Amino acid sequence: MEIRHIGGALWRQRVLVLFILVVTGAAVAYGLISAPKSYSANATVSVASAPGADVEIENENALRGTIGELANSRAVLVDVQSRLSVPRDLDVLRREISGHWVVGTILVDVSVVDSDPVVAAEIANTTAEVLPLHDPSNGAFLFTTSNPAQPPTTYSSPNLMLGIGVGALLAMVIATCGALLRDGRTNTVDDAAGIEEAAVAPVLAHVAPPRDPTTLPALYPGTSAADVFRHLRIALEAEASTNPVNKVVVTGVTSGDVNVWLGANLAISLANVGRRVLLVDGRIGERHGRPVADEPGTLGLYDLLNGADFDSALSPGPVELLTVLPSGDWGGEPTETLIETRFSAAMSEATERFDVVVVLAPPLDVCDDARVMAAGGSMLLAVPEGGVTPSELRGHADNIRSVGVRLLGIVLVGRRSERVSV
């Protein structure tokens, strides 16, 4: 996913993002406030060579390192414990006290972390006072507390800046994930730009849905309703001009008859300009809706796939040069195998006899027949305005192309039947 897609999702779901940021920020603030606090205090002890001491510099530095390590030795801890005004267990003192030699200097730093800032300073200073009593150099050093510990004014743990930084990062991650998840479920494509971006295919027309999907306005050339399909035909022919096609499968991404209405009127519009057109109703079976031709005893695609003669399955269309191959009288057998194994051969014969074959296929959310039928040809996809999310449309387009089908273009179907536009 590109950065601009993420940015778009964050903007569209900005209310949710703001809510997550506020809630997460409040939770982090509460956690920092309620978390146990620790305070750090440091005392610095100067460990200088005593006058007349005969110790090599290397040995002096090694002894200073040893003195730093003695800060939490048992002997020192016992002495420190006995001098404190507030009792502390030896194990607690061992965890709280640490010491080290500051390399390149004569200083030994004593660090203490305690839950009480005053006690932390007291322990550090007491340890600094006790260290000379456990001098491993046999008097070779002079000990001076050069920088006594002061009670800290703020806690050292939890780390406030680190907590805020981690909290802010966590809030952004949660907000981004939440926005992307909700956007993927609720954001729908409702304009040509969004559809073309998601499907990587041109929007050839923006039409209003029919009040009655059985109407055929293309039968009346010169009317405004028929002009819709004239413009759609011109756009389709322009898109296919560089690589002409003789088979177009018309389907939709959601259930309904709008793709049938589009395909039937497109076939009529093509026939009106002198094309020999075969309109194939590929919706075999009861679940696919009403057939285009349902005269009793009429043969159709189902019978053709079962071995019927091609000409016996054809019916005349409502205009000259338009022939209809209805779905036929379904016998109840599974149709998937017939379509996969025999449909291509039947359409090969059809494309030899007709200039254009327009196939009305079941919607993509019903079954996979449309992709199988479009193999070796092209597809025109009907997308309802606000009916699918960008990810769903992108997935449909990818699935179509994955089997070598050319996605010629998309017809955007509006929400309101009163408006007709192209």
Q: Would you say residue 29 has pLDDT above 50?
A: yes
Q: Would you say residue 120 has pLDDT above 90?
A: yes
Q: What domains can be seen in the chain, in order of their start residue?
A: 3-35+158-184 (no CATH), 39-147 (3.30.70.1130), 189-413 (3.40.50.300)
| Confidence at residue 101, expressed as pLDDT on a 0 to 100 scale | 93
Q: Would you say residue 340 has pLDDT above 60?
A: yes
| Confidence at residue 199, expressed as pLDDT on a 0 to 100 scale | 85
- The Cα 291–Cα 333 span in angstroms is 17
| Confidence at residue 45, expressed as pLDDT on a 0 to 100 scale | 95
- The Cα 174–Cα 187 span in angstroms is 19
Confirm if 400 and 374 have CB atoms less than 8 A apart: yes
407: Cβ contacts below 8 Å, ≥ 6 apart: 199, 201, 378, 379, 381, 397, 400, 401
- The Cα 56–Cα 149 span in angstroms is 31
Higher pLDDT: 56 or 103? It is 103
Work out the pLDDT band at 332, boundaries 50, 70, 90.
low
Buried b (16+ CB within 10 A) or exposed e, 166-198: ebeeebeeebbebbbeebeeebbbbebebbbbb
Structure confidence by residue, pLDDT tens digits, 354-395: 999 999 988 888 788 888 888 878 899 888 887 788 888 888
> Average pLDDT in the 284-294 region?
60
Sheet holding 39-49, edge to edge: 97-101, 107-114, 39-49, 141-147
Secondary structure of 236-281 in HEC code, one letter for each residue = HHHHCCCCCCCEEEEEECCCCCHHHHHHHHHHHHHHHCCCCEEEEE
| Confidence at residue 290, expressed as pLDDT on a 0 to 100 scale | 55
Q: Would you say residue 422 has pLDDT above 50?
A: no
Which residue type occupies 227?
D
Q: Would you say residue 115 has pLDDT above 60?
A: yes
Work out the pLDDT band at 159, boundaries 50, 70, 90.
confident
* DSSP H or E stretch at residue 26: helix 14-34
